[in-house]
Amino acid sequence: MGLFGRKNETATSSSTSSATATAVAPVSPELAALTGEYTIDPSHTSIGFVARHAMVTNVKGSFTDVAGTLHLDGTDPAQSTASIDVQMESIDTGSADRDGHLKSADFFKTDEFPEMTFRSTKAEALGGDDYRITGDLTILGTTKPLSIDLEFNGSATDPFGNERVGFEGKAEILRSDWGLTWNAALETGGVLVSDKIKLSFDISAIRSGS
């Protein structure tokens, strides 16, 4: 079941051999019922990242203070939107010293730029449960486009009566595109921190309106 509807089906007219017609599969009531406003649940949501360290290993981290809203349209994917705010002070890599360095002027300058934001500009159905959302990612006051490939994990009503939807996704960025250029050269060649950063998203959101 895809969140944003199903792939179009192409039918060939028997009376006109050179012409084809595209038939849009009807949207199921189950999908249409998901249309509405949702609030991201920070206690069940994480935005993670992976950076290569010293050319040989990965360092993983996440942001623990995430807020945002989603507008889901089960009948028209182009009308779905997402808005996410991340508090940069909430960065957690499992090392207080490393977290402190990441918050410093070498990296995120959290005193000056306390938030990272994402504002969607486009949503696309890719077929099945897969879709892509594109938007503006702002870090250090610099805004660049980002596309996130997402999988819709379904919807459910939790024991407290909340209607939830879940998603997981991934993306890659070059941190230098957002002005994150600090590095250190290694004696054996290469650099201490990779430019390419892998992002991961596990999002749970609760319906807040229609």
Strands 81-87 and 91-92: unpaired
How high is the pLDDT of residue 20?
A: 37
Walk along the chain (210 residues) and give the pLDDT tens digit of each residue.
Answer: 445 433 333 333 444 444 433 344 555 677 788 899 999 999 999 999 999 998 999 999 999 999 999 999 988 888 999 999 999 999 999 999 999 999 999 999 999 999 999 999 999 989 888 989 999 999 999 999 999 999 999 999 999 999 999 999 999 999 999 999 999 999 989 999 999 999 999 999 999 954
How high is the pLDDT of residue 29?
A: 72
Q: What is the DSSP string of 177-200?
A: GGT-----B-TTSSBSEEEEEEEE
Gap between the Cα atoms of 2 and 131, Å rounded: 8
How high is the pLDDT of residue 3?
A: 55
How high is the pLDDT of residue 13?
A: 40
In the chain, the N- to C-terminal Cα span, in Å, equals 21
Q: Is 31 helix (H, G, I), strand (E, B) or coil?
A: helix
Contacting residues for 164 by C-beta, under 8 A, at least 6 apart: 41, 155, 156, 157, 158, 204, 205, 206, 207
pTM of the model: 0.84
Contact status, residue 165 vs residue 2, Cβ threshold 8 Å: no
How high is the pLDDT of residue 127?
A: 87
How high is the pLDDT of residue 186?
A: 94
- Show the CA angle centred on residue 121, arms to residues 119 and 122, nearest 5°: 130
How high is the pLDDT of residue 45?
A: 95
Residue 152's DSSP bridge partners are 167
HSE, side-chain direction, 13 A CA sphere, residue 199: 18
How high is the pLDDT of residue 207?
A: 96
How high is the pLDDT of residue 27?
A: 59
- Which of 74, 67, 3, 63 is CA-nearest to residue 40? 67
How high is the pLDDT of residue 192?
A: 95
